[in-house]
Structure 1
Amino acid sequence: MICLTTSVGTRHVGSRMKCLTAAWTKKNQPLLCRSTSSTNHCNLKHSERLCHISLIGELRNCLCPPNNNNSTTFIRSYSTSTQQPTYSSKCLLGERDRFNAVMVDLTHEGNQQFIADNGYFGNILADSTSKWQKDGTIAIWIRVPIAHSRLIPVAASHGFSLHHTEGNHIYLSRWLLDCPSRLPAYANHQIGVSGFVLNEEKEEVLMIQDKHRIVRWKFPGGLSNFGEDIPDTVVREVWEETGIKTDFQSVLCFRQQHNMPWAFGISDIYVVCRLRPLNFDLNICKDELVDAKWTKVNELLKDPNHTHLTVRVARLIQHGLKYGFDSVDISMEELPSVYKNTTYKLFHKPLPPSL
């Protein structure tokens, strides 16, 4: 094997051509191509990144033209980027993550040539797995579009297992190390919310009677949509079910319950929020509710048909009405994340003004 070392940047055209010449004269030998730029690849100028990508592409084309049947030639690009493409003339195209696992997306145009025939895909998958395993890759993920679900049994025969589905795609995984798998399980909780819509002047709360659970009155609410913040979910659900517009005030409490019925055995986190009503005339969704009404908070403590959760939240509200809601509220603040250009919501008890 020969190792060609390239410098990234538009200033190194000469060394670039020297690398290409050496690659061409030695093309029957396996080649390792490295970038030795001391600059983080993520911080390179756009033109420099394009130069680097172009160089790797030209090396690949010189050594591995489309009609070349030499299956021993294998090219990989190395850089300091946390996500880098993996190239080979006879290898699936994948993207390496920061954990040293490879994600193969079968919808990628570079992988289309491998998926038309089940047998050919199986051979390419076996070769790719063997090469990545020798490179020290810890795991392989495959994203399979539902239109090509026929490839799932092929992958399963090569040691892959189902991990999860997302829309019209199925994700498969295979752990490559000789130890128990450390791949994370798919999400095992769902998030539900409800709103304690409080009319402080009358000390009344909005209660609903669910069409599918008529025996009890409860707080309006429902499940969070994908990527939806808890405050947005609870405001939306209350509006859809009762026609009451609200302002989010705080989180009062949350419940965790495992083996949730009718939720495919996953666990459930149920968040109860305090809301301030902006209108009071009810307009219920008849597809979901039988009835809705404003109820005195203290009546929730007297009715034995209410759940323990309903009674406990009513007691929290009574305490807040008497001593101030700072004593019971869990506040929310949006803070910048360690991940670039993203934020997150942090929930905690309010800090004293001095802090």
Structure 2
Amino acid sequence: MLRSLPKLSLLFSSARNPRYLTSAQRFTSQGRRPTSRVKIGAATTLSILSKSTSTISSAIASETAAEDQVQQIKLLTSTDDKYGGVTVELNHPMDSSEFIQVLRASVSHWRQLGKKGVWIKLPIRLAGLVEALVKEGFWYHHAEPNYLMLVYWIPDSPSTIPANATHRVGVGSFVMNEKQEVLVVQENSGLFQGTGIWKFPTGVVDQGEDICVAAVREVKEETGVESEFVEVLAFRQSHNSFFEKSDLFFVCMLRPLSFNIQRQRFEILDAQWMPFEEYAAQPFVQKSELLKYINDTCLAKMGGQYSGFCPISTSSNFSDQKNYLYLNAGTLKSSYSS
């Protein structure tokens, strides 16, 4: 359609340009229909055939409308997920009013495509767009040190967007030497600060960290003792423990590889090797049903009457990385041989 536009130079006339006027007169003298003149601006007139006026004007109008539509519809760059949703990672600053227009056009587009959940990852430097997103119906999903994640559910049906992480994972390390002494610490802060209570080294598993690795790391950080992981003896689940989240706590047995204690002064008030009986006799421990069960488990393990769960490196269909399956390896081997 646009390829014919250069031919229009024959149809334009100007009072100050007799060459174009002559061309136009010659064009109409060949038996064509009379022309109509439309004045454009103060100095230029448009002299074209009546029938051509409608055709060309319609073509130009259609082309202009199409171009305007392309310019007006801007969509957010997104990637599809495996659950019928899309994820958007915003990177460039944008005026809030302009962003709302782009956001609405994008949501409309995703709705037409049958998409469901919308995840928008907002870097902390673009936090000014939070208000616009919330006004459009988005809600907070989770936050990390360098970004916020907001979500939106498109269909007129109950949302199936999964909740944010529901559990925190902690470890407690039972480390005993050949003298039947257990490694214990007194904390310099937190719940047990100033109580004089001796306890196992404990800590929180970091993101992307295995339980067996976290247990060894926490012992090293708090006491300076090197150790190797043996097995998970037991685990406990509790709720509403940390910002209303649930908590998984794994009691792990470790074998010491060094014995010299160098406590972490910031978190640990004191650390020592203590006879297990002395540790278990503490009034606080005696009053705790949970700790008594843990102590009984440790004693049974010491006596060779209990087997926990060892980490077995394995692969999974859900990840390319190796992960650990914790199981009672001894019992499993016995079942194979029988």
Asked if Structure 1 and Structure 2 have the same fold, meaning a TM-score greater than 0.5 normalized by the shorter chain, the answer is yes
- Any idea what the Cα deviations from partners look like across 1:242-280, whole Å, max 9, x if unmatched? 1111011001111111111xx222121111110011111
Q: Partners in 1 of 2:105 and 2:168 — Cα distance?
A: 39
- Note the aligned Cα RMSD (angstroms): 2.2
5+ residue gaps in structure 2? 4-62
- Picking from 67, 72, 84, the partner of 1:100 is 84
Larger Rg: 2
> 1 or 2, which has the higher helix percentage?
2
CA drift at 1:91: 1.1
Q: TM-score, normalised by structure 2?
A: 0.74
5+ residue gaps in structure 1? 1-23, 26-63, 74-88
The amino acid across from 1:208 in the alignment is V
Name the residue aligned to 2:182. 205
The amino acid across from 2:146 in the alignment is N
Q: Secondary structure at the match of 1:273?
A: strand
Q: Partners in 2 of 1:210 and 1:342 — Cα distance?
A: 36
Q: Partners in 1 of 2:159 and 2:335 — Cα distance?
A: 48
Query: How do 1:203-242 and structure 2 match up within 5 A?
Result: 203-212=180-189, 213=192, 214-215=194-195, 216-242=197-223
- Any idea what the Cα deviations from partners look like across 1:152-181, whole Å, max 9, x if unmatched? 111111111111112211111001111111
Contact 1:196–1:273 (8 Å) recurs in 2 = yes
The amino acid across from 1:121 in the alignment is F
Q: TM-score, normalised by structure 1?
A: 0.70
Q: Partners in 2 of 1:121 and 1:323 — Cα distance?
A: 66
2:67 aligned with 1:68, yes or no?
yes
The amino acid across from 1:209 in the alignment is Q
Aligned residue-pair number: 266
Name the residue aligned to 1:288. 267
Q: Partners in 1 of 2:243 and 2:335 — Cα distance?
A: 47
Name the residue aligned to 2:153. 175
2:331 aligned with 1:332, yes or no?
no
- Any idea what the Cα deviations from partners look like across 1:300-336, whole Å, max 9, x if unmatched? 4433221433332221121122235xx3311111111
The amino acid across from 2:320 in the alignment is N
CA drift at 1:340: 5.0
Identity of aligned residues (%): 34
Q: Partners in 1 of 2:289 and 2:263 — Cα distance?
A: 26
Q: Partners in 2 of 1:246 and 1:236 — Cα distance?
A: 9
2:143 aligned with 1:161, yes or no?
no
Contact 1:298–1:314 (8 Å) recurs in 2 = no
The amino acid across from 1:175 in the alignment is W
- Any idea what the Cα deviations from partners look like across 1:5-43, whole Å, max 9, x if unmatched? xxxxxxxxxxxxxxxxxxx99xxxxxxxxxxxxxxxxxx
2:326 aligned with 1:347, yes or no?
yes
2:233 aligned with 1:252, yes or no?
yes
Q: Secondary structure at the match of 1:316?
A: helix
Name the residue aligned to 1:186. 164
Q: Partners in 2 of 1:278 and 1:70 — Cα distance?
A: 71
CA drift at 1:68: 3.4
